[in-house]
Structure formats: structure tokens, C-alpha cells
Chains A and B, each alone.
Chain A
Amino acid sequence: MKAFNFYTPKTLTEALDLLNQYKGRATVIAGGTDVVIELTERQRDTDCVININKLNELRYCKVEDGKVKIGALTTFTELENDPYIRENVKGLHSCAVHVGSPQIRNLGTIGGNVVNCSVAGDSPTTFMALDATVVLQSKAGKREMKLTDFYANCKKTQIADDELMTEIYFDAPAKGIATATMKLGKRKALVIVVVGLAVLVEKDDAGNISRAQVVIGGVSPKPARLPKVEEYLVGKPVSKATFAPCADMLSDAVREMIPTRASMPYKKEGVKGVSDKTFGRILADFGLQEGGR
């Protein structure tokens, strides 16, 4: 590991001051599960490391003004154990449960996972299906951005050198909303996403789909919304028959997104099973049919 100075700010203000001072030459570390490997393997050169892991003010998961607000330092374990998330945002709960290993879930933070935005990351796909918004703070002030914009038109994310992501929030799912997430990996534990799918479905009183948010991960560099699938679903009844054709639609989407990638033949088949299981879970969340694992 190359040499660097190390700071552990005690307050958010102190952290933002340091970021401002070192503009672009600092590395922020929260859980460290991605950053420490980059430092060890010398893929990352930095003048200083700012350890924000002691900023306990950024460690929370709460429902406020109809929004679910999650502090950037919340770990996957904390998210997994949150009773509200477990009951009401099943897609996010399932996402947290399947990240890495117990050790990784104890270290890894939501903020780190969203900002680092690995191609094979777990939570960005799910948060995008929830149409989440990130809160970015710098010495100059605070700004908010939809996750879709945060990941748009750039190599990584829209975060500036002097900014820290402090929170991610989304509308608390109302009655009539079901969420589900599923990832295809090579085994159960310690796997990165080969194909990930996250879905939010809202149904009206007549039992028809009034809103659908479908996001695929692990295929393109960033998670992607699939408008074709979403448009197909809206207006149709919530049923197994409605969801069945999604498998082929997703398979086509994978083929269009990565026509030349060596993993395409595998992913386009794999995504069919992922589709059936994810939508099976949506049915289960609506109390209509069993969902399976």
C-alpha cells in the first residue's frame, strides 16, 4: 500500500472541511470493503484517507414524512435487521440479506455501495427500482438527485470531489405496492451479481398494475430501467400470466444491451429464471401465490 495520511473526523462538518481542503486528492472510506482492496492492490493513489466510519450521525434507518430515509453509514446487517424494511420493503430486505458474507455485511455500508457503484454491486439496482434519491452534502450546501440522474452520463457517479453522500431516501411503499429483488450468482454466499433484477409494482383497487419499475443490474455498467417491460405491465392485471412473458422480454433486453459480451449467452438464459422468481416474489408480496427463495 502506498503512503497516505489518515484522518478520522468526529463530525460531518470536520469531514466536509477535510474534503474541501484535499479536493480530489482524498479517498473517503466508510466500511472499506471495496476501497481497502483498491489501496492494497495499488489501484488507487491518494494523498489522504478520510475515515468517516465514526460519524454515527449518518447511521440510521427511519420513516419520516412518508419517506424511508437511510443514513449513508448504515450497514447491510443493520438494514437486514430493520423490522420496518423486513415487513414493508421486501425487495430491499432481500437485497441486504444476500450481500457478500456476514463479515462483509457487517462492514459494508449503503453509502459506499451506492457511491462506489460497482458493475456487480447489489444495492444500486434495488434502490433504482425504488426510484430513490441521494442526498449529497458539501461545505457549500446540500443537493439532492434521483439515483437515475446520479448514475447518468458519466463514468461513475455525479458526486463532486468535495461532496459526501449522507443519505438515500425513497417513498415509503404505500398499500398496494410490492417490491422484490433477486440476484443470480454462482452460489449462495460471497457472490457478486451476475444478473440482478429489482422490481416495484403498484396495483390499483381493481387489481390492475398502475405503476411498474423494473431495473436490471450486472449487465450494463450501471443498473438500467427497462421502459419496454414497464410499459407492457401497466394496465394489466397482477397475475402469473401477466408476468410470464417478462422472462423473454428481459432475455431480449440482455441480448440488446451486451450483444458481443462473452457472458451474454449465459446471462440471457439466466435472466429468465431470475424474472420468474422475482415476479413470483411480487405475487407473494401481494399475498397471491408462493414466492420461493
Chain B
Amino acid sequence: MDKIKISFILNDKPVTVETNPNKRVVDLLREDCECTSVKEGCSEGECGACTVLVNGTPVTSCLMLAGQIEGDSILTLEGLMKDGELDKLQTSFVEAGAVQCGYCTPGMVLSAKALLMKNPHPTHEEIRRALSGNLCRCTGYTKIFKAVDMAAGN
């Protein structure tokens, strides 16, 4: 197996990683890039815990091979904080008490971030649809939706 070199933008910084091609993006980010906010849950695209944004679009990183993100721009939770300040969404998750065990939180925040980047004032139904690919097994959905509502200024 030949190693591959992957160059991409990770949280606004260009990086180049040499790695084995039989790695998924979730493994690449966690093992080679120290982005441990990216959680592995079900490993089959059902739970959304491993959600990252590729060119502003939410995807489940357990369903992508490392080599597929060549040239792309990746955003993980680590990249959300700007100049030591939490993102508005992160603050609203804290204020709404939208975090229980926390395992689904990075994916939830990123799916919500992708929504707000495209649609700054979504309706409640649009929020529910945008988060429909993220499961919270503590079932804390009400507060999670409330947090996104708060960040959207609803």
C-alpha cells in the first residue's frame, strides 16, 4: 500500500498530511490532526457525531476516505472559536443547557453552523430538518433546538 499525501485547509490553515489511504476522514482528523472533537459514533453515517463541514457543507466523516478531502476546506469544532472567543452558537449551547453527555454536541453545533451560514434566520422547522442527521441519545433535543433558535435570534 502506497502512502498518500493529502493537502487541505483545516480550520483556516493549510496542512499537508502523509498517511495510509485506508483511513477515513474521521481517523485522519483524530489521529493525524489532533482534532478530537470529531467523535466516532455508529461508523455508518446514522448518528452524525462525526459531522464536519467540507467546504461549508455538513458531512459524516466516517463515510469519507481520507484521500477524498484533497484540496477541500474542513471545519471542525476546533476551528469555531475565533481569537479566544466562543462562536455565538457555542455560547447559546452553553446558555440553553443544550449539552448533557456532550458526545453529540460537536456534530450538532457544526450542523447548526452550516445552516446558519446559509440561512441566518431559519424557522423552527428548518432547524429541525438541518439537525435531523444528528442523534442525541440523551434525547436533549428541545434544548438543542432552543440553543440554535437563540443563536438565530428567534
- List residues of A whose CB falls within 8 A of some B CB: 1-6, 8, 29, 31-33, 36-37, 39-40, 49, 51, 53-54, 77, 100-104, 106-107, 188-190
Contact = CB atoms under 8 A, between A and B. Distances in A.
A179 to B, nearest CB: 23
Contact of B133 (A37, A39, A104): A104
Residue from A29, A103, A104 whose CB has the most chain B CB atoms within 10 Å? A103
A54 B57 CA distance: 16
B72 to A, nearest CB: 10
Contacts of B130: 102
B30 interface: no
17 contacts: A1-B24, A6-B22, A32-B64, A33-B45, A33-B63, A36-B63, A37-B45, A37-B63, A40-B43, A101-B48, A101-B60, A101-B133, A102-B132, A102-B133, A103-B45, A104-B133, A107-B64
Nearest to A47: B1
Interface in B36-65: 43-46, 48, 51, 54, 57-60, 62-65
A233 B132 CA distance: 37
Residue from B20, B23, B59, B129 whose CB has the most chain A CB atoms within 10 Å? B59
Nearest to A6: B21
B59 A103 contact: yes
Contact of B1 (A5, A36, A37): A5
B119 to A, nearest CB: 12
Contact of B68 (A5, A51, A102, A188): A51
Interface in B133-150: 133-134
B67 A51 contact: yes
B70 interface: yes
Contacts, number: 96
B111 interface: yes
B59 A107 contact: yes
A93 to B, nearest CB: 15
B17 interface: no
A106 B58 contact: yes
Nearest to A29: B65
B12 interface: no
B4 interface: yes
Given A103-B45, A188-B132, 13 more contacts: A1-B23, A4-B1, A5-B1, A6-B65, A6-B67, A8-B68, A36-B63, A36-B65, A54-B71, A101-B60, A102-B132, A103-B60, A189-B133
B4 A6 contact: yes
B145 to A, nearest CB: 14
Contacts of A53: 68
A245 B143 CA distance: 46
A109 B108 CA distance: 24
Contacts of A101: 45, 48, 60, 132-134
B83 interface: no
Contacts of B133: 100-104, 189-190
Nearest to A33: B63
A54 B70 contact: yes
A53 B54 CA distance: 13
B2 interface: yes
Contacts of A104: 45, 60, 63, 133
B45 A100 contact: yes
Given A6-B67, A8-B70, A36 B62 contact: yes
Given A32-B65, A188-B132, A3 B44 contact: no
Contact of B24 (A2, A31, A40, A51): A40
Nearest to B107: A103
Contacts of B48: 101, 103
A199 B94 CA distance: 48
Contacts of A3: 1, 20, 22
A36 B71 CA distance: 20
B24 A36 contact: yes
